[in-house]
Amino acid sequence: MRTQTIWWTFVKKDWLIYVIGAFCVLFCGGLQVLLPYILGQGIDLMKGLPTTSFLQSLTKEKAFSLLFFSFLTGQFLLAIGRWGWRLTLARMTHYAGSHLREQIWKKACYFPGNLFQKLYTPGRLMNASTSDVHAARMVFGFTLVAVFDILFLGTLTLVLMSSIDVSITLWMLFLFVLLPPFIKKLSTKEMKLYQLAQESLSFFHEKCAHSISTIRLQRLTQTGDLWEKVLGKTAEDYRERRLSATFCSLQFIPTMGIGTVFSYLVLFGLGISKVLDGSLSLGDFVILQSYVLLLQEPILELGFIISEIQRAKTSLGRLGNIYQEKPQKNLIGKGEPTVIPTKGPIFNIKALTYKYPDAPLSLGPFNFTLFKNEKLGLMGPTGTGKSTLLHILLGLKTQFEGEALFLGKSVNVYEHTPLRQHLTMVSQDPFVFADTIRNNIQGANEKSDQDIWKVLDLVALRDEVEGFPDGLETPLGEWGLNLSGGQKQRLTMARAFIQKPSFLFLDDCLSSVDTLTEEKILKNMTSYLEDKTVIWVSHRKSTLRLCDRILEINHAAT
């Protein structure tokens, strides 16, 4: 997706706000030019020098009072105008950031699984939703304010300066011709350095995500020190590249500063001599000085605008690549609610095989039928395809051979929403949000305390939660760092059970729970599972004693 398309689509949606914001900026620009003129006229009036014909028709006291109250009114209106563009254009900067992140989420929700593994890893998506969004959002608001300043305030200031003194104005205009080539060269260099820094940051995020996901293996193999060195080197590489880009950006300041020094040399070199020879009044000199000061703002902004636009262009390009990725079709639609029949099999699996795309390994064939309220246990060594089979039945893996029928239709023809209405999985690798215990269990749908304590009783976690100082309001750290492995598994079981699913996939979800606690949970679940259809994966046969039958998977084909 082109960067211009992303920008224009957002602006067009809220065009009225942008029109109001542009008007406020132009209104402020006009007042900024008018106020120095009023001040200059007041100085000439007090010095007894000629003023505008309108003021000359008034008495000196009335003319001074008019100028004084006009100046105060102008300052008041200027404050309102600034409040207006901050309320519109500046606010749109923050709205744009939220919009860009929302679009990332909406697209990523429907990505095929291989995109997360190869192209858009968690590190890259994290970088896109932070650094890229932060850089891109500026061109939707604050950068536009600066552009209006240059186009309107700069042009109007030069026009009014020329009405006072043409020679000084021409010297000021020379700056606008002299600086752009240097700024363009500097901005091109900055864009390349910024792009390299962003790529380095994405790589750093990937390494961090990989390090966190393999933390158990690191403890087992004592490779923590090695990972620390790898992450340190990657972070240092990003730091150096980011500093290079920052130092390049800072070069805009002295470049623009040269223009400021040059403009004041012209003003005081030519202006004072003209005041002394009488060709320029003191009031006009004050007006010119104010206008030169006004010109510094757009001149200084010129470098930063080009810099921001270049960075935004790079970031929007990266975001555009995410937005244009084609979604997995069966993830998009909402589908119709599925009616559960009273007769016939729930799942019917015939000659089901699956070949991993990046490995010479295939799983299966699997053959079984599962009826309503039946409990099927799956056992077998690691690597025999038990978790993969659950992912196929959930519709997460679609490239299989044979038949995998859910309610008489292939799982591939279902859209994911109706599947999620009935199929709930508890993974062997629990995910815990950095939030309270209550919110980790209830999610987005509020539940009563009674319901929450009920499922905590079910998974034998109530006593431990009651032992926390804040109970259900106890905050959990990132990845549930303040919980043990068994506590995290039971917490995610409670999260699944509170949704009251019709079908449960339990993927070795008690592997980190001690034998005594497991015994309590299985005893509690005896009555809970009576009206549930369950497929339960475990390495321990004792865990599967609640199942009606057990399917042993002994090997994976190559």
Q: What six digits make up the tokens of 366?
A: 């699997």
pTM, two decimals, is: 0.59
Among candidates 126, 35, 107, which has minimal Cα distance to 76?
A: 35
Count of alpha carbons within 13 Å of 246, Cβ hemisphere only? 6
pLDDT at 558: 44
- Quote the tokens at residue 537: 């994966």
Task: Give every CB contact of residue 240 below 8 A, 6+ residues apart in sequence.
Answer: none
pLDDT single digits (tens) 263-319: 777 777 788 888 888 888 888 888 887 877 777 766 666 666 777 787 788 888 888
Cβ atoms of 558 and 364 closer than 8 Å: no
Q: What residue ranges do the domains of the chain occupy?
A: 3-327, 345-552
Phi then psi for 401, rounded to 5 degrees?
Answer: -115, 155
Domain topology for 345-552 = Rossmann fold (3.40.50)
Token duo for residue 134: 């932060």
Query: With a cut of 50, which residues of the chain have pLDDT below it?
Result: 335-337, 557-558
Q: What is the pLDDT of residues 60-85, one digit of tens each?
A: 888 888 888 988 998 999 899 989 98
- Beta bridge mates, 536: 377, 506
**CB-based contacts of 98: which residues, under 8 Å, 6+ apart?**
none
Burial of 126 (0-12, 13-18, 19+ CB in 10 A): middle
Q: What is the pLDDT of residue 73?
A: 92
Alpha-carbon span 242 to 194, nearest angstrom: 7
Q: Are 50 and 83 in contact (CB under 8 A)?
A: no
Fold of domain 3-327: ABC transporter transmembrane region fold (1.20.1560)
- Picking from 114, 96, 118, 141, the residue whose alpha carbon sits closest to that of residue 6 is 96
Which pLDDT belongs to residue 425?
A: 87
In this prediction, residue 514 carries a pLDDT of 84
* Residues in the chain, total: 558
Burial class (CB in 10 A: 0-12, 13-18, 19+), 512: middle
